[in-house]
Chain A
Amino acid sequence: MRIYTCSRNWDAMLTCIYEAWTSRLGQQNIRLELEPVEQYTLFNEYIHVDVNKGKADSVADAIVEKISSYVYYELTFCSMACEKDVLDNIYRVLILGFAYGPKVLEMVQFKDVMRNNEIRRRLGREVSRFTEAVRFQKVNDSFYVAHIEPKSNLVLALGRHFQDRMPSENWMIVDDVHLEAVVHPANEDFYLRLLSEIELEALKRTERTRDEYTDLWKVFFDTIAIKERINPKLQKNLFPLWARKHAVEFMD
């Protein structure tokens, strides 16, 4: 089996798909994996693929033209998911897409499409969860910073949501796990920024900022619960501990 590997970035993934597609080895003899590869085995041949803008563009164009821009968008979204098989599965869905056209994502009789939809839904839930649970701290007069610890590399999806929500504020959402952040200067477009460990350490300090409104929020949060209906188990089901980690109402 030949295994094409690449880093987690959309252009690299498209290039990787290009290489696999043009290898003509037969689909059963190929697998695509995201780096870092967890365990190398002796029987497989590993080929690392670097970004090649031209190849990536040609795959992107082919998807939009021969399948649809909707499918293209859906697959870019899925590519943020933490599932180990996500890249390989995108590749399989594309093969089906080139054969069946724009309806491919509805064709759940194919297990790869089913798997794609499974990943898409889980990721969708994860993105919604963080859309809800992000908490900004006011760091200075006009700058807000939030920290999250997601499973997937989803800050870009959050950037889109918050750009619409707060177009004229300066803010930043930091993914403490994957060392990346979306940065949004007021009235401009947001951008992705990869962080060094040192930068992350510095940014982590922002989380300890407290002000009058953090306290008022805690007062509200505690008061609004009806004591005759207290139900910590239900609360935990609906807002699990991992998701609360950076929610200020649960911090001391």
Chain B
Amino acid sequence: MYEIQPGPDLKEKLEILSDAAKYDVACTSSGVDRAGKEGFIGNSVSAGICHTFAADGRCISLLKVLMSNHCVYDCKYCKNRASNDIPRATFTPDELCSLTIEFYKRNYIEGLFLSSGVIKNPDYTMEKMCETLRLLRTKYRFNGYIHVKAIPGASGELLYSAGLLADRVSINMELPTQASLSALAPNKNMLNILNPMNRISGTIAAHRVAIGKEARLERAGINDHLVNSIFGKGSKVTKEAIAGAEHIGIETAGSQLPAINDTFMYPADRKDALLKRPFAPAGQSTQMIIGASGETDLELVRTSQELYKSFDLKRVFYSAYIPLNEDPALPALDTAVPMKREHRLYQADFLLRYYGFQADELLSADRPFFNDRVDPKCDWAVRHLGDFPVEVNTASYDALLRVPGIGPKGVMRIMSARKYSSVNFQMLKKMGIVLKRAQYFITCNGRMMFNIPMEERFILSQLADVEQTSERKLLIRNDDQNAQMDLFSDFNLTTGVV
């Protein structure tokens, strides 16, 4: 191990510390709209902006780096673990600020995503990160997006500062059960992750209420129309919501949490509070590693659902495990990266957040993994042929949204068009509905597009075909950014989960 010296070798530091940060998935700059101000640099656009795409096809929106790749912990799956002999480096706060500002002015990035290995101890590390963010917000007058990773075990006071300085705070869950954490991340434990997560979500809610917003984050508008949505009226934060899921780490640890959505309480004249910024206005997110431990898809999706419901997380990200270290507790080094599985989980995550599905509708104890051949929505539809076909001109939001080939935007357009005239297949096509998929499940004024047998095996094989062609065309869309674009770039409805 050798230490990179500050000064001339900024390039080398950047290389080491971006290389060490690349396995973190989240790179989105979304979740908050903030106008620019004279004398400052930067604004924020709620839909997020991807500036470029790296050679792996993942979007680059933020300068994603570690403050330091020194780490006193020894998580088995991590390249930066203490027991690895690798070059180490630490940015100075000013180096990080100049990089952010200079990249930002050239329109390379929307802001900074700062994470870190544990230098000395969690408090020391978090303090260094806060110092950087404080400098960026004050001396460098940066008004763009900041995502900061909270270090598990850091004091409440420091996490509070971090939330006041950043737009989004996240704590990586990495593994969804205490058993997996004990096996693979011996220095971490579930309570150390859930406790701060809980208090961050409580503090976000308190800050929102203080400025006259609803306690819970705004969700995609479509959820207001859905009876079954996990964000619907019935999804208030309750102990019962947490206790609802069985065999999930959250549940076991949840009962030990002090109170659901506890807040950080500090005097309003704390220095970072004087900046008068809202606390993490873009919400909180987390990440889980897929395929390093033995969880099923069902366990993962249930965990996500609970995180959304109990802690009002803005996003849960999934990261296909890439074998970096040799260890008997881990998959072998030549294990393939489970990209397809990660892709299916993102699709399922979309179904929870935009389509009014619940985890237990998608999978069950005797079918705990997603179908390899068709996406989770088609898979569900084919198993529920009795609910179809639905009549496009009269069906409810929920029913339309469950039709493969129709997404939230499509439903909104259908509903809007229905007000003025009856809708036919020609119009659906123009609205961006993927008839190749939808045709098996809908009627327009009582008629199907073609006379097709409503037979499970037939439809399944047809849909698998559609899936393959669209996946061949687009390859596997390998991270959430791409899925996000599907929905937000308006009409890209031929891909992803629709």
Which residues of A pack against B, CB within 8 Å?
A: 106-109, 114, 118, 121, 124-125, 128, 131-138, 144, 146, 162-169, 187, 213-217, 219-235, 237-239, 247-249
Contacts and interface: CB of A to CB of B under 8 A. Distances in A.
Closest 3 pairs between A and B when the two form their complex, measured CB to CB: A234-B57, A225-B54, A225-B55
A226 B79 CA distance: 13
Nearest to B432: A121
B86 interface: no
A164 B420 contact: no
A54 to B, nearest CB: 35
B430 A114 contact: yes
Nearest to B144: A165
Contact of B54 (A128, A136, A219, A235): A235
Interface in B473-490: 474-478, 482, 485, 489-490
Contact of A169 (B41, B51, B99, B322): B41
A222 B21 CA distance: 13
B56 A132 contact: no
B186 interface: no
Given A108-B431, A165-B36, A238-B482, A213 B103 contact: yes
Interface in B59-81: 59-60, 63-64
Contacts of A237: 57, 474-475
B455 interface: no
Nearest to B475: A234
B427 interface: yes
B40 interface: yes
A225 B416 contact: no
Given A221-B52, A229-B339, A239-B52, A136 B11 contact: no
Contacts of B52: 132-133, 221, 239, 247, 249
A99 to B, nearest CB: 13
Interface of B: 10-11, 14-15, 18-19, 21-23, 35-43, 49-60, 63-64, 99, 102-103, 105-108, 144, 322, 337, 339, 413, 416-417, 419-421, 427, 430-431, 474-478, 482, 485, 489-491
Contacts of B43: 164-165
B22 A224 contact: yes
A167 B489 contact: no
18 contacts: A108-B420, A114-B427, A132-B50, A136-B107, A137-B106, A146-B107, A165-B43, A167-B38, A167-B39, A168-B40, A168-B41, A216-B11, A217-B106, A224-B54, A225-B22, A229-B322, A235-B53, A249-B52
Given A131-B49, A216-B10, A232 B55 contact: yes
A167 B431 contact: no
Nearest to B27: A224
A217 B108 contact: yes
User: Which of A135, A229, A233 counts the most chain B CB atoms within 10 A?
Assistant: A229
B474 A234 contact: yes
Given A125-B490, A217-B103, A224 B18 contact: yes
Given A108-B413, A109-B417, A238-B482, A168 B55 contact: no
A134 B485 CA distance: 19
Contacts of A107: 420
Contacts of A125: 489-490
B322 A228 contact: yes
Given A132-B52, A249-B52, A108 B489 contact: no
Contacts of A163: 36
B419 to A, nearest CB: 7
Nearest to B479: A229
Contacts of B322: 226, 228-229
Contacts of A134: 107
Contact of B23 (A118, A226, A233): A226
B431 to A, nearest CB: 7
B477 A234 contact: yes
A244 to B, nearest CB: 8
Contact of B38 (A187, A214, A217): A187
Contacts of A232: 55
A219 B11 contact: yes
A226 B27 CA distance: 14
Q: Which of B10, B35, B57, B64 is most buried by chain A, counting CB atoms within 10 A of its CB?
A: B57
Contact of A128 (B37, B430, B489): B489
B291 to A, nearest CB: 12
Contact of B51 (A132, A166, A213): A132
Given A219-B14, A234-B475, 9 more contacts: A124-B490, A162-B107, A164-B35, A164-B43, A166-B105, A168-B39, A224-B21, A233-B475, A234-B478
A137 B39 CA distance: 21
A223 B18 contact: yes
Given A109-B420, A168-B39, A229-B337, A144 B53 contact: no
A251 B476 CA distance: 27
A235 B54 CA distance: 7
Contacts of A144: 105-106
Contacts of B64: 224
Give the most central of B54, B105, B417: most A CB within 10 Å.
Answer: B54
B57 A229 contact: yes
Contacts of B430: 108, 114, 118
A66 B99 CA distance: 51
Contacts of A108: 413, 416-417, 420, 427, 430-431
A137 B14 CA distance: 21
Name, among A114, A167, A220, the residue most crowded by chain B CB atoms within 10 Å (CB to CB). Answer: A220
Max chain A Cβ within 10 angstroms of own Cβ: one of B14, B105, B106: B106
A160 B11 CA distance: 34
A231 B38 contact: no
A223 B472 CA distance: 27
Contacts of A239: 52-53
B99 A224 contact: no
Contacts of A164: 35-36, 43
Given A108-B416, A125-B490, A219 B55 contact: no
A137 B37 CA distance: 22
A214 B14 CA distance: 13
Contacts of A131: 49
B55 A230 contact: yes
A214 B83 CA distance: 35
Please indicate which of the listed interface residues A134, A165, A167, A222 has the most CB atoms of chain B within 10 Å of its own CB: A165
